Amino acid sequence: GKVALAFVDLDNFKVINDSLGHAAGDQLLIEIAHRLRSALRAIDTVVRYGGDEFVLIIGEQTSSDDTIHLLERVLSAVQAPLELEGHTLRISCSIGVSVCPDDAQNLENLLRVADVAMYHAKESGKGQYRFYTSDLNQVAQDRFALETALGSAIEHNELTVVYQPKVDGSGQVKGFEALVRWNSAGQGLVTPDR
């Protein structure tokens, strides 16, 4: 059968550590681990991968509906209110899912592509899951290429500053806004939304 690997990352965990302290953060991780375990079946495995990341190994998946059902249970379990240090918290998580053997055949690659899917889930609004697709891998590669090119944009004089006037209601110029534009040698004009 198929096995799903779910890479779970708690959303905004740093805020808990920064505001309530690391001891409270540790208690939260213990509670989340219990919730993850209770949301899954006896044949599934929960592993704390590091920091606020967990890996779920979900075995014997005959259809994506089976996996989706378990992921919905995981999201609900994590998002249920919890008491910590006298505060009622609502934690969410982002989950990236890869399937063996469809997406990869070894643990290292399953983790890598599940991580790609998890970051896509975070970018899509957190508190949700995303299955890995080859399109996501292309998005990750494109972003990596863009970030790498941006690192040398200053050295190659690809960044320019343009000024946009700020005009009041009567048409009088009241100031300027300085905007950076990037005309990449390899990517062309890179728009601010990219």
Tokens representing residue 96 in the block: 């990236």
Per annotation, catalytic residue among 11, 52, 103, 115: 52
CA-to-CA distance for 77 and 56, rounded, in angstroms?
14
Nearest to residue 36, comparing CAs of 100, 107, 93, 114? 93
**52 in active site:** yes
CA-to-CA distance for 124 and 133, rounded, in angstroms?
15
Residues labelled catalytic: 52
